[in-house]
Amino acid sequence: MKKGIHPENYRLIVFKDMSNGEMILTKSTAPTKETIKYDDGNEYPLIKVEISNTSHPFYTGKMTLVDTAGRVDKYMNKYKKHVDKKK
């Protein structure tokens, strides 16, 4: 690794998922002015995030698949008479 390109000011910080309230304590250099009292009773800087691995559909297994073939068939059946007139 190159010397002098990585930050030196890592500190403990809390990332809070705003969609489900889950909090993760980790090290980061991200700047913030907010603080929060964590589960261990200490106060840490806070970064609010919209989505994390605890709420993202890919990680929670609640991902839905889009049926594009069914949509095309539905469209073709609905407008079949219009398509047939053009042929």
pLDDT in tens, 23-71: 999 999 999 999 999 999 999 999 999 888 777 766 667 766 566 667 7
At residue 50, φ and ψ (nearest 5 deg) are: -75, -35
Where residue 6 falls among pLDDT bands split at 50, 70, 90? confident
Query: In the prediction, which pLDDT does 83 show?
Result: 64
How would you class 6 by CB atoms within 10 Å of its CB: exposed for 0-12, middle for 13-18, buried for 19 or more? Answer: exposed
Q: For the whole prediction, is pTM greater than 0.85?
A: no
- Domain boundary assignment for the chain: 11-62
